[in-house]
A and B are shown apart, each in its own frame.
Chain A
Amino acid sequence: MSARGFIGLAAVVLLGAWLVEGLLGLPGFGEDAPAYGLALADLALAERNATNAVSAVLFDLRALDTLGEALALFAGAAAVQTVLRELAGEEESEPPASTAVDRRPAPTGDAVRAVALWLVAPTVLYGAYIAARGHVSVGGGFQGGAIVAAAVALVFLAGRQATMHHLAPESALDITESIGAGGFLVVGLVALATGAGFLGNVLPLGEAGRLLSAGTIGVLSVLIGLEAASALATLIQKFVEQTVEIRQEEP
């Protein structure tokens, strides 16, 4: 091991000793939760008719934080596009369909491919469902988006990146992602204009537990779902493109 390894490990041990000593001074696990969080959990149901308090926090009570994170995701996806584009040989145009089929990477077993493809549609639907019912039950935009992105991964596993490219070309992902993040901002600004405050609630609250309830929470959740799904799909798509590029170069 290098000198850096030794010194580094020694520093890590030292830091650990300090950290452990301090953490033992915290109140015990599960004895009490922060009062602030518990107050917000009550407000979610009482004043927003949202049965999922986490979503109420994400898309109403502390929606500004979510906006910040959404834009960080947006920036990350845009950055990966730029960084990997240089590698792709500066070629921007989409490949013609015929060569795209040849760009199939590793041969995947037929069974795997069939199963993967069969799973895609239900997974996408499930993700959309999770995002749309975020204010009512477990889940929300981020989870729904991540699940849809996992479906994109399934398309790849099925060896169908040509299909993937066809279904979700980069420019389309740019647009859907912008609709997601931009919509979030626009809803927030509309609320500001109507006097509810930036990212405040402007819609009727409905009845707790119903799909059409909890005001803007559901809307923002779906928009974030769109943003997260597009961003993560962009990431996967750009990385897939890289590998395909190389395989094509091989004899």
Chain B
Amino acid sequence: MSAEHLPYLLAAWVLLTGLAGIVTSRDLVHTIMCLAVLQTSVHVLLLAIGYRHDATAPIYDDVPADVAVVDPVVQALTVTDIVVGAAATALLLAFAVQVNKRTGSLDPAGLVALRG
């Protein structure tokens, strides 16, 4: 283990804490927040992959054009994924609100309409 891999390990840590939160969760809103955290893990990973030392942001408005920059592709993907992830989270929250309306609780154990 070395400092060189710390950002990757952080991404794994965030992924795993999100999963751990979900499997132990007894509240749908709690589950959804953990899912939102879990999704940020891949943002960390993507940006860490695109990063290189001694480079600058891929935006040239106040730096010379021949300067070394980091990868813009992973940044583009991350930006879109953050916004779309928010939409997915909002959809799940809307479901959760509805579940609460039907069962009066947010415990997924109360969802017993489908089984077997």
What is A's interface to B at a CB cutoff of 8 Å? 1-2, 4-5, 8-9, 11-12, 15-16, 19-20, 23-24, 26, 28-34, 36-38, 40-41, 44-45, 51-54, 56-58, 62, 65-66, 69-70, 72-73, 75-77, 79-80, 83-84, 86-87, 136-138, 140, 142-143, 145-146, 208-209, 228, 231-232, 235, 238-239, 242
B87 touches A73 (CB 8 A): yes
Q: Is there contact, CB below 8 Å, between B8 and A23?
A: yes
> How many residues belonging to B are interface residues under a CB distance threshold of 8 Å?
56
How many pairs, one residue from A and one from B, have CB atoms within 8 Å of each other in the complex? 183
Chain B residues, Cβ within 8 Å of A138:
57, 59
Question: Which of A24, A41, A143, A228 is B1 in contact with, Cβ under 8 Å?
Answer: A24
**CB neighbours of A140 from chain B (8 A):** 79
Which secondary structure characterizes the binding site on chain B? Answer: helix
Interface residues of B in 57-108 (CB under 8 A from A): 57-61, 65, 69-77, 79-84, 86-88, 90-91, 93-95, 97-98, 101
| Contact A30 B94, CB 8 Å, known A5-B24, A8-B20, A19-B12 | no
Within the complex, the shortest CB–CB distance from A24 to chain B, in Å, comes to 5
Interchain CB contact (< 8 A) of A28 among B5, B59, B94: B5
